[in-house]
Amino acid sequence: MNATRNFTYALVTPVRSEAKNLARLASSIAAQTVRPRRWVIVDNGSEDSTLEFAEELGRAQDWVRVISVPGEPRPVPGAPIVRAFHAGLGELERPLPDVVVKLDADTSMDPDHFERLLEAFAEDEKLGIASGTCLEQDDNGEWRAIQVTRGHVRGAARAYRRECLEQVLPLEERVGWDGVDELKAAVLGWTTRMLPELDFRHHRRVGARDGTPTARWLTMGSASWFMGYRFSYLLLRSLHHARGDRAALAMVIGYTRAAFRREPRLSDTRARAHLRQSQTLRALVGRYGESRPIATLSESSASSSRIDPV
């Protein structure tokens, strides 16, 4: 793939008590056909052998760097992972590589994953934020695609073009950070999308570490208020998800509670306006069609998908 010849990339992986997952990810990274220029592992208060294992990796490979940031007893949801990512960025050489990937420890991918990812960025100069399609195992052990609407990128393996990243930094230290950066990027003329021809495996279901379902939906409601969601869209979204999880109705409570308390909202008014425009009735009709399952997956992927529209 000659398009990637001059493209470089770096990985930043926030970790907290992820020894087993980190070992699996390290094997995936070591097998890549294109090696990262730097892999920064940021330990965020691990209580197992994660830090020790990461330090062993750092001693064995000069392109792996390990740092620690203090954990917090009662952190704002979403804040620790963003702060760890920011800390990891500080360890990268300047100028940054062409692509920087925020990569969770509970992922794995095929050996040519990052080579193909770099090719996608090389072929589309307006591509600002991208990821492969996220696969998770269902109760039968089959890998299925977690599909969302066009423009949304999975946070577990989130790749930024250098110029786009520099424009959207700093990321918001709260739940919803991975929606706000997409809004900022779109306003600045970048495209954001999942790549249907590329996938990665996520070995822990989305939100599994975020508390009870009700607590997660409450937090998402609060994040929706912060981002500037239309209430009508928030209500429809909540009802949509409630078909599979009645706790999703708590998203409305989280939103209205944040509104009643007059909690802060995203200060970037252009980004908020862009979001509200995308939530008009006319736009929603098109986005519903976008949320259909992806048909093109690798042979190792499942043949059907679970739909999770934004």
Q: Which CATH number fits domain 2-202: 3.40.640.10, 3.20.20.140, 3.30.70.20, 3.90.550.10?
A: 3.90.550.10
Structure tokens, 212: 């009870």
Higher pLDDT, 27 or 176: 27
Per-chain mean pLDDT for the chain: 86
Question: What is the C-alpha to C-alpha distance for residues 45 and 298, in angstroms, rounded to an integer?
Answer: 36
Distance between CA atoms of 229 and 14, rounded to whole angstroms?
Answer: 29
- Identify whether 95 is preceded by a cis peptide bond (ω within 30 of 0): yes
Query: Which residues on neighbouring strands pair with residue 71, listed in sequence order?
Result: none
pLDDT (0 to 100) of residue 6: 84
pLDDT at residue 281 in the model: 67
Structure tokens at 45: 């208060």
Chain centroid to CA 68: 21
Q: Are 167 and 184 in contact (CB under 8 A)?
A: yes
At 280 the pLDDT is 77
For 196-250, what is each residue's pLDDT tens digit?
899 999 998 665 555 688 988 999 999 999 999 999 999 998 998 899 899 999 9
Highest mean pLDDT: which of 93-107, 129-143, 277-291?
Answer: 93-107
Tokens of 97: 């590589």
